[in-house]
Amino acid sequence: MRRIGVVTSGADCPGLNAAIRAVARKSFDLGYEVIGVRNGWHGLIHDDVFVMEKSHVSGILYLGGSILGSGKDDPFSSEADFASFQANFKKYQLTSIVVIGGFTSLRIASRLNDAGYATVGIPATIDNDVMGTEQTIGFDTAANFVCESLDRLHSTASSHHRVMVVEVMGGGAGWIALLGGLGGGADYVVTPEYRPKFDDILHHIENRKSSGKTFSIIVITDTATVDGLPLGECPKTGVGAYLASEIEKRSGIDTRFTVLGHLQRGGTPTFFDRTLATRYGYEAVELLRRGDVGKMVALKGGLIVPADMDQATRERRKPEAKLFEYAKLFY
């Protein structure tokens, strides 16, 4: 009898429950037992797991968050934690683990596989920064939320003739700002990959004003930098607030800021994230069935294929240059 542990590790994102559901249902279909690990790796370090039944995954497809809970514990953080992980892995007679998470979580999964614990990964993060796949679970929902938020901000920015600065998450990559901004009609996008000069941002705003555009919307990733502004020394309110205050100070234009923050992580997953998570979960169990461990499932050319998990976690995936060309067309 195979006993598969299921872990949702790291930061949460929309679509985790859809992936858990698919892993469990496919496992049950094959006659495997499924062990739910609570609160990320904390569950296997501190002996907090449970045997999953079909009832546990009924009615969860559309729910945000994770029914298992998540966390940022790391079994490699200390010798004691790794020893506890090993003891509980053996205690519950696990034969393998499915790890659902982002860059750091999949890196841990790869290390565990190298240590002899059969592991398969499912890339799930709003940041979309995992190499080897065209898209991660959660990104579509987060980018859609940014797009919808910009739609709403357009009307109030236009009514009051303001500059609106919108700060979004990104985890060191500009995917959400870039594509959320492109879809939502942002007038300027600042990401970690594209470091503009502050004067260029001001010139753009002033040029829009002189051409009859009475408002501007700027999207910035929370880890981005701008030449000419010490964003690394910005107050706790974040880069969006600091950029907005400097724009108003230098241009004299009424400027406001909005931080979308953790709103991007919550809520109902989109159709795309639900179906992607379902396909990922199914194929992850198929990898285990074939004994093809140390891999993660990935989206390539519309198909779900295996990708080497070690290769995928050596560096974070950045948006390709062509996407910036698309965005700059509308600046």
**Active site members:** 127
Structure tokens at 328: 């700059």
CB 107 within 8 A of CB 313: yes
Structure tokens at 175: 């995917």
Structure tokens at 269: 């997953």
DSSP bridge partners of 137: 124
Tokens 């709103």 identify what position?
263
CB 127 within 8 A of CB 171: yes
Q: How would you list the strands of the sheet with 96-101, edge to edge? A: 49-51, 33-37, 3-8, 96-101, 119-123, 295-300, 303-308
Instruction: Give which of 302, 257, 276, 330 is closest to 141, Cα–Cα.
Output: 276
291 Cα distance to chain centroid: 28
Could you write out the three-class secondary structure of 162-174?
CEEEEEECCCCCC
Alpha carbon separation from 127 to 40, 167, 178, 253, 256 (Å, rounded): 19, 14, 11, 32, 25
